[in-house]
Structures are given as C-alpha cells and as structure tokens.
Amino acid sequence: MKDNAAQAANIGKFQNTSVTADGQTRASVALSNPETLWFNTGTLCNIECVNCYIASSPTNDALVYITADEVRDYLDQIEARNWPVREIGFTGGEPFMNPEMIDMTRAALERGYEVLILTNAMLPMMRRKMREGLLELQRDYGDKLTLRISVDHYRPDLHDEERGKGSFAKTLMGMEWLRDHSFNMAIAGRTVWGDNDAESRAGYAAFFKQHGFDIDAQNPGQTVLFPEMDETVEVPEITTACWGILDKSPDAVMCASARMVVKRKGADRPAVLACTLLPYEPEFEMGHTLAEAEVDVHLNHPHCAKFCVLGGASCSG
C-alpha cells in the first residue's frame, strides 16, 4: 500500500523537461566547472547486487566494453575544449572485467589526471594480468590513482545480503592486497539499512582499524555513503525557487562538474551522458562529443532530486 501511494503521488511528475507538474519552472544546471569525466567500462559484472544503480550483472551487456582508443579520443577532446578536468573516473559494471582496463587507466594517468576506479575488488581485479598491471601503475603514478571499493556495510552479513554470500570475504581479500601494496583506497557504502551518518562512520572506522586500512571514515571523500534511490518513493520536483529555499547552489550538483561516456550495445561509437546514474534514460543522452555535452541539464528525474539535490551525493572523488 505504501509503494502504491508513493507511485500515485508521483503521477504527473517528471514529465516535462522545462515545467514541473504544478506549472513551475523546472530547475536546470549548467556545466559550470567540468572537473570529472567518467567512463562506464561496460555493465557486465561478476556479481548481481540487489539494489544495483544500473542493473549490472554477469549477463547485462547493454553497455559494452569501451576501448582504450575511445578513451584517448575523449581525453583529446578534453584538451581541445579546454575543460579544467582534474579527474578521470571509471565505473561499471565491474571495471576490471574490461580487458583494456589497465591501458585505459594508463592513458589517463600519463596525461596527468587523477584517476578514480570504482570496483568490488573481487576476482576480476585479482587476476594476475590485472594485479601486474596495477602494480606497474602504482609504481609509476601511485599518488594519482585511487581505487574506491564497494563495501555496502561494514558488517559482513549485511554486505552479503546485498551482494551475495561470501562477497564480503572476497572483497576483504582484495582490499588487503591493495593495502599491502600501498594503493590509495576509498570506500563506497550504502544507507539502505537506515543507520544514521554517525553510526555508519563509527562502524567503518572500527572496520578500517581492525584491518589496518588507511582510510578516513570521517572524510566524506574517502568514505562515501550514498543515499538510496527508490523510484517508488515520493520525491519533490526541483524548481528554480528550490535553490533559494534549500540554500543550495546549482554549481554543487554533480552535473555541474561531470559527464559520463558510455558505449551502447550495437552503437558504432560512444555517447556522452549528463549523469553517471541515468545511463538508460534517452533524455539524458547529450550526443557523441564533449562539445555537444556542454548544454544545461534539466533536473527531470527522481534521482536528480533525491540523490543529488536533496541527498547531496556525488560520485566523484
């Protein structure tokens, strides 16, 4: 009954790009400071999580493997457009499923960018070829490379509830390998279990201390706690008036500073999206080039409201 009520409450919302259901001007966000360019390496993943943001799984290849040459083309575009990008992010799926993951990472690092890789640190990362490649990158660019590990909860049983039995132990093994080789690590946690921020950070702090992980649980850049995104829950539409009401600047929203590149199954070339969280929404596809992606983003999706504006979350480092 609760879900039905929420769905009914959302009827009519998020339909018009420019106007909310009650006739107000919908908020939009300009690309004011493009500092992060994301690449989705493909939606294939070694596991299937209960609440995966983009339905990654061992069989979902809706977004296919992007190549190192395609990444280099966008790195060239960054320079041609004079974007002040400091960070290149790689997400999936599981990035280390992509056979060109090391080459893509090196392509970004050798141009001086910081690189953030989102991974579950499980078997794909621990294959010998990937470990050897990571060690070479660590040797050459260690201060510029960070791996953000998905640890949904510091309790193994709750993490495994989301990711499958035994997942926590396998991720822990990967993290211990990264620790032993002095990689920069960060953590991505979830808030689906209802812990408040202080409780969550205290739990992660104890987990980090127990295993000797040099990660600051109190630093939201190192321990990222993502708000949950449930489209069955009622969320407000964001109007231009909301910036003042919420005392929030549109420059603080993720799409003011980031874009994501994906390659769709069957496509002859990659496309640029407004957001890392909406890879399947045609409205948020902006074209094939960074030049086309410089247009404003209208906040016409529940995720825009709950995750970014009200939740204050960002995928960037």
Residue 41 within any structural domain of the chain: yes
The pLDDT of residue 147 is above 80: yes
For 258-302, how does the pLDDT look when each residue is reduced to its tens digit (9 = 90+)?
Answer: 999 999 999 999 999 998 889 999 899 999 999 999 999 999 988
Q: Which of 48-52, 191-195, 308-312 has the lowest mean pLDDT?
A: 308-312
Mean pLDDT of 139-148: 96
Query: For the domain that residue 116 is a member of, what is the CATH number?
Result: 3.20.20.70
**Average pLDDT for the chain:** 92
Residue span of the structural domain in which 145 resides: 31-150+227-232+250-294
Mean pLDDT, rounded, for 136-140: 97
Task: Give strand pairing partners of 190.
Answer: 226
3-state SS record for the chain? CHHHHHHHHHCCCCCCCCECCCCCEECEECCCCCCEEEEECCCECCCCCCCCCCCCECCCCCECCCCHHHHHHHHHHHHHHCCCCCEEEEECCCHHHCCCHHHHHHHHHCCCCEEEEEECCCHHHHCHHHHHHHHHHHHHHHHHEEEEEECCCCCHHHHHHHHCCCHHHHHHHHHHHHHHCCCEEEEEEECCCCCCHHHHHHHHHHHHHHHCCCCCCCCCCCEEEECCCCCCCCCCCCECCHHHHHCCCHHHCHHHCEEEEECECCCCCCEEECCCCCCCCHHHEEECCCCHHHCCEECCCHHHHHHHHHCCCCCCC
Residue 199 lies in a domain: no
Q: Is 187 among the domain residues?
A: no
Q: Which residues of 287-306 are buried (b: 16+ CB within 10 A; e: fewer)?
A: eebbeebbeebbbbbbbbbb
Beta bridge partners of 114: 87
Strand pairing class (271-273; 87-91): unpaired
* Cα(149)–Cα(7) distance, integer angstroms: 33
In a domain, 58, yes or no: yes
pTM above threshold 0.85? yes
Q: Identify whether 100 is part of a domain.
A: yes
* Residue 40 belongs to a domain: yes
The residue count of the chain comes to 317
Residue 26 has phi, psi (to 5 degrees) of -70, 140
Instruction: For 216-245, write each residue's pLDDT tens digit.
Output: 999 999 999 987 666 667 888 999 999 999
pLDDT digits (tens, 9 = 90+) for 105-122: 999 999 999 999 999 999
- For residue 311, tell me if it sits in a domain: no
How many domains, in total, are found in the chain?
1
pLDDT at 212 over 90: yes
> What does the alpha-carbon distance between residue 269 and residue 66 come to, in Å, rounded to a whole number?
9
User: Is there a domain that residue 310 lies in?
Assistant: no
